[in-house]
């Protein structure tokens, strides 16, 4: 099951890093929800976010949200500016919550 993380575009080293940082149980939870996570990754990439792996490690719960909820959260910000800030520092994402 943990191998489903490869389905979201992560390589073996990245999966190992996620397990090390989040723990096996959380990594398994992400793996079980890989289809939702993949959709959310595509949405975030469409906004221009580049540091997806760092975001998964820092704010894994973001990737388990409904895609419409993410769109709604981002819509209250100047998206290009906010994305630029997130790309510089992933902790900026905390302003969404």
pLDDT in tens, 16-37: 999 999 999 999 999 999 999 9
Cβ atoms 57, 92 nearer than 8 A: no
Amino acid 63: pLDDT: 95
- 74: nearest Cα among 33, 45, 54: 45
Amino acid 95: pLDDT: 81
Mean pLDDT, range 69-89, rounded to an integer: 93
Mean pLDDT, range 12-16, rounded to an integer: 94
Q: Is the dihedral of CA 82, 53, 24, 65 positive or negative?
A: positive
Mean pLDDT, range 55-60, rounded to an integer: 94
Amino acid 1: pLDDT: 82
- 45: nearest Cα among 87, 3, 93: 87
For residue 80, give both structure tokens: 């290009």
- 37: nearest Cα among 17, 15, 12, 16: 15
Mean pLDDT, range 69-82, rounded to an integer: 92
pLDDT for residue 97 is more than 80: no
């Amino acid at each position: 099951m943990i191998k489903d993380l490869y389905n979201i575009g992560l390589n073996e080293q990245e999966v190992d890093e996620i397990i090390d940082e989040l723990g096996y149980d959380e990594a398994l939870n992400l793996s079980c929800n890989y289809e939702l996570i993949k959709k959310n990754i595509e949405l975030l990439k469409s906004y221009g976010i580049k540091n997806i792996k760092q975001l998964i490690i820092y704010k894994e719960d973001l990737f388990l949200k409904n895609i419409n909820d993410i769109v709604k959260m981002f819509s209250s910000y100047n998206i290009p500016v906010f994305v630029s800030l997130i790309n510089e520092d992933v902790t900026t994402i905390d302003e969404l919550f």
